[in-house]
Amino acid sequence: MSWTHLAVAGVFEIVWAVLLKSTDGFTRPLESAVTIGAMVASFYFLSVALRELPIGTAYAVWTGIGAVGTALVGILLLGEPRDLVRILCLVLIVGGIVGLKATSGS
């Protein structure tokens, strides 16, 4: 169950990272509130996952999910560049996440 909590935390990480730009420096109340809510949810689920997972593994996987997910949203929905090197770098991050999960012993 801890890996599920970590995955949920990663999804909320993507949500707040993508929404952060829409806050316009936290000057837009609704967007800011939703972004902060996603941040709190992300940290909550990360903290629950940390009850059973090693901090180094969990934190690396959490940030990896957030980084890859946010980059993919940028590429697929926001028109950000999708060149080969960028995609290759994302694949490397995913490989690192899979490797950490495979060697975590949990």
pLDDT in tens, 37-61: 999 999 999 999 999 999 999 999 9
Q: What angle do CA 26, 30, 32 make, to 5 degrees?
A: 30
DSSP 34-64: HHHHHHHHHHHHHHHHTTTS-HHHHHHHHHH
- The answer to whether 16 and 42 have CB atoms below 8 angstroms apart is yes
How many other C-beta atoms lie within 10 A of the C-beta of residue 79? 8
CA–CA separation, 9 and 17 (whole Å): 12
Give me the number of domains the chain comprises.
1
Residue 101 tokens, joined: 């999960």
pLDDT band per the 50, 70, 90 thresholds, residue 64:
very high
State pTM to two decimals.
0.88
- Residue 106, pLDDT > 80, answer no
Question: Average pLDDT of 13-30?
Answer: 96
Residues 6+ apart with CB under 8 A from 2: 48, 49, 51, 52, 53, 106
Domain that holds residue 24: 2-103
